[in-house]
Amino acid sequence: MNAGQREETATFMILGAVCTRGCRFCAVQTGRPTELDLQEPERVADSVKQMDLRHVVITAVARDDLNDGGASVFAETIRAVRRKVPYCTIEVLPSDMKGNDESIRTLMDAKPDIFNHNIETVRRLTKRVRAIATYDRSLAFIKTC
């Protein structure tokens, strides 16, 4: 970035700071989350507006403890950003939500501009690197979206 220019992109990690998975490549704390902050989507949207962002990436810890894997919070965050900053493009980077079709629909019905998903490794090494996610489920997740 050149002097005098401002950054117009930021990444927000939603759904708390504790992940329900223990993937070997990740430094996020693993455990059982104790809360779900339903005001988070509005706060993220307020931050996007305050920073006058043109593009935002919304990612999250895996929340296998939630029936929808956090899809409803992703969707509400997308809608909140759209309401407050309609010119901002939105990219999502969710977990595989355990391949739950209803959760995937909830997320995709919010119409993110870009859908992204990390597989992290090749099929042969998946069990050693990823605690719960499977290679084939990730491929199916990407194909569905």
- The verdict on residue 4 lying in a domain is no
Domain that holds residue 27: 9-144
In a domain, 1, yes or no: no
| Extended beta strands in 33-136, E state | 55-60, 89-93, 114-115
Domain count, the chain: 1
For the record, the structure tokens of 8 come out as 């117009």
Q: Is residue 93 part of a domain?
A: yes
Q: Provide the CATH number for the domain around residue 17.
A: 3.20.20.70
pLDDT 10s digits, 6-26: 669 999 999 999 988 887 777
Average pLDDT over every residue of 82-104: 93
Whether the pLDDT of residue 92 is over 80: the answer is yes
Res 1 pLDDT > 50: no
Q: What is the pLDDT of residue 85?
A: 97
Among 36-40, 89-93, 96-100, the least confident range: 96-100
Range 104-110 contact pairs with CB under 8 angstroms and sequence separation of 24 or more: 104/71, 104/141, 104/144, 104/145, 106/68, 106/71, 106/72, 106/74, 106/75, 107/71, 107/74, 107/75, 107/145, 108/145, 109/75, 110/74, 110/75, 110/76, 110/78, 110/79
Higher pLDDT, 133 or 65: 65
What pLDDT does residue 135 have?
73
Evaluate whether residue 124 is within a structural domain.
yes
In a domain, residue 80? The reply is: yes
pLDDT of residue 118: 77
- Give the number of other Cβ atoms within 10 Å of residue 36's Cβ: 14
Residue 3: inside a domain, yes or no? no
With both helix axes pointing from N to C terminus, report the angle between 40-50 and 71-84 in degrees, rounded to the nearest 10.
30
The answer to whether residue 23 is domain-embedded is: yes
